[in-house]
Each structure stands twice: as structure tokens, then as C-alpha cells.
């Protein structure tokens, strides 16, 4: 019984040190400086993206948010576009009426 407990402790310590050694030391300062503290990175302001979303909705008939997410290719991905789309809806810049998004 004692040997099992000792083997478990040694194994747990070995796994702990291997995981700790493989983990990155600290986040890069460049990534931390791009967004102000306390702001969700998905909600960070991106005026170019906002303008591109509004322009797309003005030029096209949009029935679903996925249409916008597919049409606008952003380096941060579709989730980032979707978050900005919802942010514009909260601000009242985009409306959803008669199953169509409009400005």
C-alpha cells in the first residue's frame, strides 16, 4: 500500500514538472498591448471592419448573419466578424426587420 502511494506521488510530481516546463513562460507583450485591459478581445474596436459590415449590408440583401461572416474575410476569423455585427446591432446601426438585416 505504501509503495503504491509513493509511486503515485512520484508520478504526479513528474507530470507536474513536465507540464510546467512545457508551458509558455509569459504572454507576449505585443499581444497584451493591442487590447486595453478589461476589454474582451472580440469586442475591441475595429472601425474598418464596422464600415465593411455596414457597406456589405447596404449593397446586399442579408437574411442571416452567416452571410456576412462568410463574405467578409477577416484575419481574426468569422467569430470576430460576428461579434462586431452584434455590437453594431446593440448600437442600433443595424436593424432586423421582416427577416432582413438593414441599416
Q: Where are the domains of the chain?
A: 43-102
Cell of 71: 463574405
H/E element holding 102?
A: strand 100-102
CA distances from 11 to 3, 29, 63 (A): 12, 35, 56
Q: So what's the pLDDT on residue 47?
A: 84
Q: Are 13 and 7 in contact (CB under 8 A)?
A: no
Q: Which residue has the cell 446601426?
A: 93
Strand pairing partners for 100? 97
Question: Which of 102, 53, 95 has the alpha carbon at shortest distance from 74?
Answer: 53
Q: So what's the pLDDT on residue 21?
A: 81
Average pLDDT across each block of 10 residues of the chain; the chain has 103 residues. List them in order.
88 86 59 57 76 92 90 88 91 89 85
Q: So what's the pLDDT on residue 41?
A: 66
Q: So what's the pLDDT on residue 31?
A: 47
Q: So what's the pLDDT on residue 1?
A: 84
Cell of 47: 472601425
Q: So what's the pLDDT on residue 9?
A: 93
H/E element holding 88?
A: helix 78-91
Residue 42's contacts (CB-CB under 8 Å, 6 or more residues apart) are 79, 80, 83
Amino acid at each position: 500500500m505504501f509503495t503504491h502511494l509513493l509511486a503515485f506521488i512520484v508520478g504526479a510530481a513528474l507530470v507536474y514538472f513536465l507540464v510546467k516546463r512545457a508551458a509558455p513562460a509569459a504572454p507576449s507583450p505585443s499581444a497584451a498591448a493591442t487590447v486595453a485591459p478589461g476589454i474582451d478581445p472580440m469586442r475591441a474596436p475595429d472601425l474598418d471592419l464596422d464600415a465593411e459590415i455596414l457597406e456589405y449590408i447596404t449593397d446586399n440583401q442579408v437574411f442571416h448573419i452567416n452571410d456576412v461572416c462568410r463574405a467578409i474575410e477577416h484575419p481574426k476569423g468569422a467569430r470576430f466578424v460576428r461579434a462586431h455585427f452584434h455590437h453594431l446591432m446593440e448600437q442600433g446601426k443595424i436593424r432586423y426587420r421582416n427577416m432582413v438585416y438593414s441599416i
